Amino acid sequence: MQRCRRTTQQLIFLLTLPLFLLFLTACGGQETAVFLPSSLQTATETAVSVATPAARLQSVDIAPIATTAYEEAGLSTSAGGRFVSLDDPVMIPANQATWLQPDDIVIGVVQNDDARAYPIKQAAYHHIINDTIGGEPYLVTY
């Protein structure tokens, strides 16, 4: 047991010694001074441009999400039969959507100043809505 311990200590010493010598070599040596020309010794001011946002967000009003049972909201959790995608839906102004209640949940999308709102009750029936918003094709799914 003594011989094994001594051999291990010798091995550790032999492995550590080169690392220690490498450290001494890297950290030792003569210091060399670097002299800069006088033109590089003076500080110069550099103009810095500050980015300004196009618009500032004044406040964020995050209303709590109402929790309602699926059945109470007129939604279904069952897959049912085959569903039909809604392709290129006809959009109407929000004030003409008289069947919507103020607390109805919608999926909202805005693209290139074109805003759309898809009522969850309709999205739950179709599951897939193919539309063009702001000139870009969109697939909305629920």
Structure tokens at 40: 């590089």
Contact 138, 109 (CB under 8 A): yes
Q: What is the pTM of this model?
A: 0.43
> Cβ-count burial of 96 within 10 angstroms (0-12 exposed, 13-18 middle, 19+ buried)?
exposed
Q: Of 82, 120, 88, 126, which Cα lies nearest the Cα of 101?
A: 120
Contact 106, 118 (CB under 8 A): yes
Give the rounded percent of residues in the chain with a pLDDT score beyond 70.
Answer: 54
Q: What tens digit of pLDDT does each residue of 48-83 get?
A: 777 676 666 677 676 676 666 656 666 665 555 667
Return the domain boundaries, the chain: 86-93+103-141
The answer on pLDDT for 96 being more than 60 is yes
Structure tokens at 76: 């279904």
Sheet holding 136-141, edge to edge: 86-87, 128-133, 136-141
The three-class DSSP label of residue 25 is: helix
